[in-house]
Amino acid sequence: MQSPPDESTRNRMEAAHATAARLLELNCTGIPAWGFAGCTIGRRAGDRWLRVASASRSSSRKQGEGVIGAEALIPDDVPRPRLHGVLDWAEGEHGYRADVIDHITDPVVSTRPELASDPNLPDTWWHALHTATQHLATAEGTRTTVRDTWIQKAFPQYLGVPGPAVVERVTGHGDFHWGNLTGPTLTILDWERWGLVPLGFDPGLLHANSLFVPAVATRVRREFAAVLDTPAGRIGELAAIAEMLQAVARGWYPELAAPLADRARELTGVTPPQGAAPELVR
């Protein structure tokens, strides 16, 4: 769980959430849950959850993408909050998107994307996770998440190796970390980024966020060995590491810089460049 970067953002987003609750006739209670940099805010409304995201005033939802696309295209047996209503509007220079989804009572495995200690998840949880990813892969993805153009620039800049000639893709979540998974009953949260991801990207991202807890990292690798131990899966894992190393360059997860570099070197035999620019070099 994040916090707003400043009081202005907090006040603006709280006001937007109140507007959505009023228009959707929801009575929200409890402490707000904030997303990255205060760009989303959510609160409980009975057995529902009202999530409001800040967006560009001119942006609109694209068919088959985000939470609406997930509701329409992802198999029912992939455990996730179901969608019950949406509302989009603009105020001043800002646009907003409100989603009414199920309130999930199980807590997230970690309040941060990366894991700090072993959550001791049961074998049934791991089986459910593996099964969910298999069923998700059968969905028709309409959005390309982690584009080839980004990969071709990010691999040399953040990993020190050329971009791959071919990127095999599969339908995936796109933001597969411990803050988006609940336990002890599995629910997968936050479907804004789902779509066609590099094969191995989702388990690679989960593994990268498990590096502080070797036992869990080993379990991730074992559960997804059939993907991660293939040439195409390694490309996907490297794409996940490159994305996280870009986040490190932007000032996020500084403590993960060394473990991420070590894992990249294990996969490529090359030490990633030090002090890479936070944005892609054109």
Positions of the chain with pLDDT lower than 50, given as ranges: none
pTM for the model stands at: 0.94
Angle, vertex CA 279, rays to CA 274 and CA 282, nearest 5: 100
Kind and range of the H or E run holding 218: helix 214-223
Q: What residue type is assigned to position 216 of the chain? A: V
Residue ranges per structural domain of the chain: 7-102, 123-268
The third-level CATH classification (topology) of the domain covering 123-268 is Aminoglycoside 3'-phosphotransferase; Chain: A, domain 2 (3.90.1200)
CATH number of 7-102: 3.30.200
Which pLDDT does position 123 carry in this prediction?
97
Which pLDDT does position 282 carry in this prediction?
66
> And the tokens for 244?
């996280």
